[in-house]
Structure 1
Amino acid sequence: MRYEWQPSTKLIPISAGVYRFITKTSSGEETIYVGKAKNLRNRLTSYFQDPSNLHERTASMVKTATEVKWTVTQTEIEALQLEFAWIKSYNPRFNIRFRDDKSYPYLSISMQNEIPRVHSTRTKRKDGARYFGPYPNPRDVRDAIELLLRVFPVRSCSDSILAQHQRAKRPCLLGHIGRCLAPCVDNSGIAEHKIVARDLETFLGGSAKQAMATLVSKMNDASAAERFEEAARIRDQINAVEEILKKSLVSIEQDLSADFIGVASSGLDAVVVVMQVREGRLVGENRLLVDAIDAVSDQELLVNFIMRNYTGPEAMSAICVGIQLDELSKIEKVLKNLRNSAVTIQCPVRGEKQRVAKLAQMNAEAGLIHHQQKMLSNLASRSEALAELAAALKLNAAPLRIECVDVSHLQGTDRVAAVVVFEDGMPARSEYRSYVLEHPGDDLAGISEVISRRIHRYAENGNRYPTNLLVIDGGPFQARAAAEVLKANGIEIPVIGLAKRLEEVWWPGGATPLMLPRSSKALYLLQQIRDETHRRAITHHRLRRSKRSTKSILDDIPGVGPKKRNMLLKQFGGVTGLRAAGIRDLELIDGIQGPLAARIYRELHLDASKPD
């Protein structure tokens, strides 16, 4: 399909640059999408293909546009900087948008109010309040507020309750027990209340040292002035602060302050997690869902997010990411030019930073799974997906039980397989199975073995639903391997393969794939089943590989269990040191008696060339 406004391919330069899709409006023109490319010709021509091959939002964007303009840049740094400037200037409606995940509660301090309030909320607004979190459990927020009010007695009541007590000139219970300064009663205390609220904001922002130093100084001053009751009260506040610090979610180096960013995506679903660490404390975690018009890589999402959120002078200058970025130095240079101060972006490979960056990445992956499962939990959406899938695959009825198979190995070693089952469009985890493959071979042989070992299940049909569809993680040849085993055993179950790169649906041995629309609920369901199977298979494979890499020759000696093995290895520094020890040396270890010591010595010297 060719659009009237579509430029000739020959006119589009092959150099790096930034482009804008534009539409005509009654008031002039509107920029609806901004992007950058290393090769403008390759990137722009990808939009002018059959709309059925594009994601629905991408096709809608191209259909809405009436013109495309581009600007050539000399370097990729210039392109990155110009793209950010245009996005900030035009705010295009089709560009990637990061929106808050409203599933988790925040702790909010309404600093914009004359009498600030601390409370829990699930809605993060741009109203001048400070938000901390989100927290995985509402109880965590309530517990945090309860502890904080012992140190920072800020009001926590609603505006209506505040007005009620202002009229009555009588404090509430929290005011009576010292958990609130009761500014509703004493107007002269409003200024002091605001100072305490500011101290609370500073404390939650990560300046725990400053809060502790202030409290210790006040306690010493009160004690020196012989105000012992006041000194005792401040001492209790110091103890409460220490208790809060002990409840920090992560134990981190004391002086570490940085933002740790994790990204996880699957198709058009993506989640970004930012863990904010200040002075060794995890003071907040922001979880954002991504709206995109096309599938982009995790690296592209991460660059986009950093460029959107770290250009202001108030943004954190130390950033750690959980995945490798090819353009770190270029991004640092652009950010430095935009904010007039240095920014450090790292992908740590060891130490404390690596541990927290890995934690951020794990949280992003968990957030993606949570989001996908929440999408699937909607009954109407699941029913629609199953109906779409039945229509697309020409099945007689909706596939109420779908099984998916994936094989995992590393160059033929530690070969395992996983089977995941979805019933009514939801995971049936009690039906999941993992297999250690017994026969050598490639992926096709592994798939054949798994299906052969499950033949009796298909023949007996003792499940809640019969298996209506078998999905294989792979292409036409993988699907054919499964179909041939079923056919040889006289079992009729529809089989398809789902190839990950282009999300193509393949028939067994087919030459042409079925391309489901990128916005299809049926494709979304197949992706979730395939990804869940892949996760289970790769996790099983890594576990097997880890066990093999840590196996010791001591494991094969009768009478030596894990406890004795660890004691021996620790005492002698490894198998090499053990081989150098005599029987008397072995007998000095607790629990190693004469016969066992002799057996260990004999086994270790049967073949001194055995690996550790």
Structure 2
Amino acid sequence: MGKAKNLRSRVHSYFQPGAELSPAKKIMARQVHHLTTTEVANETEALLLERTLIKQHQPPFNIDLKDDKSWLYIAIDYNQDYPTVEFVRRPTPSKKVKLFGPYVAASSIRQLFPFFKKTLGLKTCSLPANKPCFQASLGRCLGHNLGPGSKRRYHQQLKYFEQLMKGDVSNVTATLSKEMQQAAKSKDYERAARIRDQLRALRRLQEKQSVVSTRRESFDVYGLAQSGNAAAIVRLPIRRGVLLESDGFLLEHTKGLSNIEILAEFFEQYASQATNLVKKVYLPIKLKTAPVSKLSFRVAERGTKRRLVNLANKSAQNHLEQSVASWQRKEVRAREGLKQLKTIFNLPAVPKRIEGFDISNIQGKEAVGSMVVLTNGLPDSKHYRKFKIQAPAKPNDVRMLAEMLVRRFTKNTDWPKPDLIILDGGAAQLSTVKKALSEFKINLPLTALAKREELIYLPNKKEPLKLPSDSAALLLLESLRDEAHRFGITYYRSRHRKKTVKSAWDELPGVGPVFKKKLKAAYGSIRTLRQANEQELTKIVGQVRATAIKNYLS
């Protein structure tokens, strides 16, 4: 997958006699059979399409930017008069939603965000502007209609927050200092005291930051390290001379690629997702062409910027070594666990594909099933699947589990068959599922793992097997069982939340789509609607409906 303004020139470059190609690109050029092209309107669309296709098809000659689906962003929703500030993943681009990120190390921004929320009075709840939350009543949230001028004041706080997200602490403190003096002059001592507290908090934050340049300039520095089929890139963001927290990125499928190619492909993927970039970028090596036109790529040859590049290179090397060591430990544990499972279940070979199944529900309602997969002992999320369960008249987890397994093997025959199946449960789950599958002549290695005592139930064995708590096989089974539960409960909560919200609004007496939309716009939630007085409701839905709604909600 690749993009180019001149496709003819780009493709021709791979087949020119004497072309300087990396080993990986030479192999690709020999194997290519045909080309497919898609024309888009601009470079941004090309970047987004390239990223989507790489994730969808996972081509072997493109690098894989690890874990980018889980990156965290901060979103400010300017569709609202009093915008909410919240964390999001995989955001949908919108002109009125301001994004900051991605934050690769989510824990760091999560630890810092409460400071900004408290200092600036940011709104993080979903309550409408005319229904102040508890924090607003205490003066800790400014994102509600609290009287004349409140909207202007809150938007000013959001402006400060945006500047802080860009690393510009000094400008915010300078502006706040002026505001504090003006408030004191006009004898608004309460506001002056509040700004004073904000300034103290921001100055404490400044003290923790490292000044690397007295010129107060903003730029990004990148370092690179490569080993085998993996590479690491570290970004050091410098904002107004201050070094902010670094980001580390892992890349796979880099074997045979030059450092120049790795950096170019990285920027093509990363730039389509990042909102926190600045124009000036310093690299350890010179790129042949600029992979992203909105950035200015430079080589740091001496001075402060060269020292920062060396620091970024060293950080990338450490990041890569730690990651590779972690992968190797996981692979060693997985291999040992698989060998033990082969012996325990008397399998003809070490199991390559293991599937785990679990049911999530509350008293049979909104029941869902989850299927997770280990490939060579490691989670393989692209093969995870979710099932909506047709709940029986009486809640019965065992029957629901059997239903899911039958559907998995009778309706999805094109999916790869597992070498081993793990059920969440005990003897009842094992015997019921085995019987249900045998009716369809499906005979695959099957076991159940019970919670608490961690007993392993085997077909045709009266007594369960109890492995040592540090057994590699048991740890592998536990990780699969727990992952199936996590995946299932996440899906269940999503369905339950949608169903609850939908049913609560839809069951209001005399309220159709038009009035439902008006009520949602005015109150935001059923809880807030319940607190509304009948006179307010009458203005929106009329006297008869207002009385009926109040009676229903009471």
- For this structure pair, what is the TM-score category when the shorter chain's length is used for normalisation? 0.3 to 0.5
Q: What TM-score comes out, normalization by structure 2 length?
A: 0.47
Q: What TM-score comes out, normalization by structure 1 length?
A: 0.43
Q: Which of the pair has the greater relative contact order for Cα pairs under 8 Å at 6+ separation? A: 2
